[in-house]
Amino acid sequence: MITILCAGSRGDFQPYIALAQQLKKMGKEVRITAGKSNASLVRSYGIDVYPIEADIETLKIDPNLLQAAGSADNPLKMLLAFNKMKEYGVYMVSDFYAAGEGSELVVYHPGCSIGYFAAQKLGIPSVLASPFPMHKTGEYLSVVMYGKTKPAPLTMRLSYTLLQGMLWMASKESVKSFWKKRFGTMPENFGCPFERHTDQSHPAVISCSSSVFARPADWNENIHQLGYWFADEPTEYVPSSELSAFLQAGDKPVYIGFGSMIALGKHGQLADIAVEAIIKSGKRGIISGMGRPAGLPASVIALDSIPHSWLFDRVAAVCHHGGAGTTAAGFRAGVPSIIIPFSNDQFAWAHRSYHLGVGAAPLAKKNLTSDKLAGAIRFALSEPVVANAKALGAKIAAENGAEECARIIKKCLGP
């Protein structure tokens, strides 16, 4: 049995579901840890769940704290939010450790570093599985500072110290507390585990295409970046008759949606800005997750939610908040991006999209206007950007990161 330790929102689970699917295809028993909030999501993909009693819902985490964590727009705010969130980790660590017992290998999200120490204690291999590049390199800034400061040897070193430090902070105290209570001592070699890839029994795998961020030459040979991890949808999506008719009624529309970011604060004005921008750009559009504003023109349709893997292949451009998974889906579809980052690593994906020539320059949410968004849409749909996006999409479509990384994980178990 391979156990994958994961926690967070739906977007956090998607890439790990993809890994689990590929491991299952290779004949391995696999399960993912999940609380009540995400257990049904994991099971809907045919993956077994190890139940975690404590999660965001059951712990009743302060909504203001969640909002602060989800809207941190600079490294200092991120650090403060992670520091406040760490107290909730102690409630999950015991279940994470128990999930590792009886397993032959543990795969862990960087926010669940108990996986490294549990595997070490249990005498089994462990694999760090990251949803973004996080290992130290002298080639580019980390995702918490990329696009926010100029790359230089000092700033690059600091950027990875900050990124890894925040992730380690999220679980350090809870691991320490659990270990002392359970074993009366500290874990062996206790410390940040994110650079300990010294042999094939503890590799790292990363969900990212080297066409987006090239794999650095100064990484350890046991760090593997082989493409994005995209899950196979369990059922074929069937659009409503309204959506089908809309898609067939004219040119491909522009998609605008901000996922869970809308729920983190008062962003109701975004729906009006989105609709006005679509009209001003002279394009047709789809707005998602922002309700159904009154008086929508025939050129705009409002949806609740829809699989990006289905929709993005059918639109002219995608406008979103810059979550790693949503950005990857847009890149794979081969369509231009317009990214309005809200927090954390979203700024990095916004800047990277622009630097690759596959999207518009990042738009600041705090002073967003319909004119600025309309201008970004027009820029994104210019001929050079469309061509670049299509070329990048072809490269990503040719990769199978989830399958290749699943092979790396399986290899840890020997022949």
Indicate whether 68 pLDDT > 80: no
Summarize the confidence of residues 159-163 as an average pLDDT: 94
Tokens of 68: 């602060």
pLDDT digits (tens, 9 = 90+) for 240-260: 999 999 999 999 999 999 876
- Segment among 25-29, 197-201, 316-320 with least mean pLDDT: 197-201
pTM over 0.95: no
How confident is the model at residue 172, as a pLDDT?
87
Q: Average pLDDT, stretch 209-232?
A: 96
DSSP state of 387: H
For 204, residues 6+ apart whose C-beta sits below 8 A from its C-beta are: 127, 128, 129, 130, 135, 194, 197, 222, 223, 224
Cα(51)–Cα(95) distance, integer angstroms? 8
CB of 328 within 8 A of CB of 397? Answer: no
- Sign of CA pseudo-dihedral 12, 13, 16, 17: negative
Q: Tell me: pLDDT of 131 over 90.
A: yes
Query: In the chain, what percentage of residues exceed pLDDT 90?
Result: 68
Residue 329 has pLDDT above 80, yes or no: yes
Q: What is the largest CA-CA distance in the chain?
A: 68
- Residues 337, 321 contacting (CB under 8 angstroms): no
Closest CA to 36 of 18, 17, 15, 58: 58
- Residue 64: which residues within 8 A CB-CB, separation 6 or more? none
Is residue 11 over pLDDT 90?
no
Report which of residues 248 and 87 the model is more confident about: 248
d(CA 40, CA 7): 14
For residue 278, which phi and psi values (nearest 5 degrees)?
-60, -45
Q: How confident is the model at residue 59 (pLDDT cuts 50, 70, 90)?
A: low
d(CA 95, CA 61): 18
In this prediction, residue 414 has a pLDDT band, given cuts at 50, 70 and 90, of confident
The DSSP annotation for 95-133 comes to: HHHHHHTT-SEEEE-TT-THHHHHHHHHT--EEEEESS-
Q: Which residue has the tokens 């660590």?
A: 93
**Average pLDDT over all residues of the chain:** 88
299, pLDDT greater than 80: yes
CB 115 within 8 A of CB 107: yes
Domains annotated for the chain, with CATH where assigned, are: 2-228+400-411 (3.40.50.2000), 241-397 (3.40.50.2000)
Q: pLDDT-based confidence at 10, cuts 50/70/90?
A: confident
Check whether 58 has a pLDDT greater than 70: no
Q: What is the pLDDT of residues 344-364, one digit of tens each?
A: 789 999 999 999 999 999 999
More confident residue, 283 or 87: 283
Banded pLDDT at 265 (limits 50, 70, 90):
very low
Region 31-53: mean pLDDT is 92
Tokens of 9: 């929102």
Query: What mean pLDDT do residues 317-340 have?
Result: 95
Query: Which pLDDT belongs to residue 251?
Result: 94
Q: pLDDT confidence of 65, banded at 50, 70, 90?
A: very low
Give the range among 4-18, 43-57, 312-326 with minimum mean pLDDT: 43-57
pLDDT attached to residue 177: 87
